[in-house]
Amino acid sequence: MLIVGIGGTLRAGSSTERVLFHVLRYARDLGAETALFVGDAINLPMYVPGQTEHCGNAAALLDAVRRADAIALGSPGYHGGISGLVKNALDYVEDLARDAAPYFDGRAVGCIATGAGWQGANATLMALRNTVHALRGWPTPLGLALNTREPLFGADGECLFPEVTGLMRVMAGQLVRFAATFR
């Protein structure tokens, strides 16, 4: 079983990246293989519809999504929506339109939104869920909208809040369980 994480920012160690890392870590604890695409791995040229030649990072992302049994998708809230970096990476999924299982079809997708306030995090979570529906994926029952006004992670990268750690574990469990069910 492969669970692919996509998201984050170009800032290494961003809150979104760390949440994705931990969700995938907990999924590995449950027996899944994982692949994480954050930062420079999704700093792709702007998507051009119909262009079939892609840079190595885009090709690797598309290959991983094709093989994925489930996906963890995370974005910081930028002005109440998905960041351009994450949206552009998702635009590349259009290349999977003619696959036997197009886009995210048949796959659970855990949606994670972070923001320096509740309004932006919640609006971004809803935007991610809407995008997942448009890509024929199944958002997990639990979506994470996390306010990063106060740091969520310590210098060691570990979560400072046991309740947030618990939520990341729940999301990992849902991804693994749904992936096993729909495999």
- Residue 70 contacts residue 24 (beta carbons within 8 Å): no
Number of Cβ within 10 Å of residue 136's Cβ equals 15
CB-based contact 4:35 (threshold 8 Å): yes
Give the residue among 133, 135, 111 at the shortest CA–CA distance from 123.
Answer: 111
The two structure tokens encoding residue 36 = 């994480």
- Structural domain including 69 reads 2-182
pLDDT of 51 reads: 86
Cβ contact 108:178 at 8 Å: yes
Q: Which amino acid is at 91?
A: D
Total domains present in the chain:
1
pLDDT tens by residue, the chain, 183 residues: 999 999 999 998 899 999 999 999 999 999 999 999 999 999 999 999 988 789 999 999 999 999 999 999 999 999 889 999 999 999 999 999 999 999 999 999 999 999 999 999 999 999 999 999 999 999 999 999 999 999 999 999 999 999 999 999 999 999 999 999 987
pLDDT confidence of residue 52: 79
Query: Do 123 and 78 touch, CB atoms closer than 8 A?
Result: no
Q: What is the pTM of this model?
A: 0.96
CATH number at residue 120: 3.40.50.360
What is the distance between the alpha carbons of residues 54 and 21, in angstroms, rounded to a whole number?
26
Strand bridging mode 81-82 / 33-38: unpaired
